[in-house]
Amino acid sequence: MKSTGVTIADVAREAGVSPMTVSRALREPERVSAKALKQITAVVDRLGYQPDPYAQALAAGRTNVIAVIIPSVTNNVFADVMRGIYAIFEGTRWQVQLGNSRYSADLEEALTRTFLRQRPAGMIVTGIDQTAVTRQLLADAPCRLVQIMELGDTPIDMMVGFSHREAAQDATRHLLDRGYKRPGFIAARIDPRTQRRRLGFEDVARQSGVYDPNRIITTLEPSTVTLGGRLMAQMLEQSPDTDSVLCNNDDLALGALFECQRRGMTVPDRVGICGFNDLEMMAAAYPTVTSVKSYREEMGRQASTMLLQTLNDDEPTTPIVDLGFDIITRESTTRTFDDK
């Protein structure tokens, strides 16, 4: 039943002090005399003592768990966010624990319950579209929280993100500025963020008089490069005069690019392509692909830093952070002529 075997009592005995002093030496060394500290440290090292995190959690009533809920572990976008989160918490006493909601609000609710049962020290959750119950759970939780990826008017606590709708608006405007007259929009895995991007596309398309529902193709399927090709093919079949596409993400954009090449339709001259997220590969593609850059790793870092501040009893200066976005213009939307 025993684990490592070495308990705080063993250390205390060997060091000739009480368990309480050992406990202190480990957590608040400044409250222990230099002599005792040295003694204890030596024994800890010699015995290889490691505190039992469960006993600590139970006795102290709090944990060192940072619970993170993301919709997908296989999506590059969240992988980047995670890298930012790990970058901040690695080497600290906080332990990141990952939960995967698989784009389901119900699963997210269940996950939230599971996590809260563990009394996390802090939480990071994705997006602003939690169920009412989840929102309530999070609001009542005895820990601080950062919502990431998006911005919204009703933050539960803290927030780091950017406006997907505005980003899509700007990207659509970019296509029009580049002389494209009949832009389309393709999207897969319709989640709330995707929806807002579509709205952004529609905003600008409508207001510029180029809106055509036949140039909007969405599907619930998970997004892949192959699917990008398929959606592009569908677009060109149902609206052959489409001269550009805003893709909901870079996988789709890459697939669309390949599909155009396969059909001998030159990019950017015959078809302009704009992706979303600006994954690393977009700059390496041939032709290079324009994309909406989002600051994903920075988002993870910011969220973690803010959480860390609250854990140290500092209030972050800005509890709501807009990281913005940038349209990274590349060859795929840079025509060599204008078909006016």
Interface ranges with DNA (CB under 7 A):
1-3, 7-9, 16-21, 23-24, 26-27, 31-33, 35-36, 49, 51-52, 55-56, 58-61
Rg (alpha carbons) of the chain, rounded to whole number: 26
286 binds a second copy (CB under 8 A): yes
What pairs with residue 160 in β-bridges? 148, 321
Instruction: State the minimum distance, in angstroms, from the CB of residue 173 to a second copy.
Output: 28
Q: Considering CB distances under 5 to 8 angstroms, the limit depending on partner class, which of DNA, a second copy, none binds residue 234?
A: none
Size of the site for a second copy (CB under 8 A): 51
For the four alpha carbons of 226, 108, 127 and 172, in that order, the dihedral sign comes to positive
Structure tokens at 155: 């933050």
> Beta strand pairing status for 244-247 and 272-277?
parallel
Q: Considering CB distances under 5 to 8 angstroms, the limit depending on partner class, which of a second copy, DNA, none binds residue 31?
A: DNA
Q: Considering CB distances under 5 to 8 angstroms, the limit depending on partner class, which of DNA, a second copy, none binds residue 21?
A: DNA
Residues 47-66 that bind a second copy (CB under 8 A): 50-55, 57-58, 61, 63
Matching residue, tokens 């998970």: 222
Residues 6+ apart with CB under 8 A from 225: 251, 252, 254, 255, 258
Residue 211: name the closest of 220, 200, 223 by CA.
200
Nearer to DNA, 2 or 340 (CB): 2
309 binds a second copy (CB under 8 A): no
Q: Considering CB distances under 5 to 8 angstroms, the limit depending on partner class, which of a second copy, DNA, none binds residue 133?
A: none
Instruction: State the minimum distance, in angstroms, from the CB of residue 337 to a second copy.
Output: 22
Report d(CA 101, CA 110) in Å as an integer: 9
Instruction: State the minimum distance, in angstroms, from the CB of residue 91 to DNA.
Output: 19
226 binds a second copy (CB under 8 A): yes
Q: Considering CB distances under 5 to 8 angstroms, the limit depending on partner class, which of a second copy, DNA, none binds residue 148?
A: none
Structure tokens at 286: 């041939």
108 binds a second copy (CB under 8 A): no
74 binds a second copy (CB under 8 A): yes
Instruction: State the minimum distance, in angstroms, from the CB of residue 95 to DNA.
Output: 15
Report d(CA 106, CA 74) in Å as an integer: 20
DSSP 3-state percent helix, strand, coil across the chain (nearest 5): 45, 15, 35
Helices (H), the chain: 8-15, 19-27, 34-47, 53-60, 76-89, 105-117, 132-140, 164-177, 192-207, 225-238, 250-262, 296-311
Contacts with a second copy by CB under 8 A lie at 1-4, 50-55, 57-58, 61, 63, 73-74, 76, 79-80, 82-83, 86, 95, 97-98, 100, 113-114, 116-119, 142, 224-226, 228-229, 251, 254-255, 258-259, 261-262, 280-281, 283-286
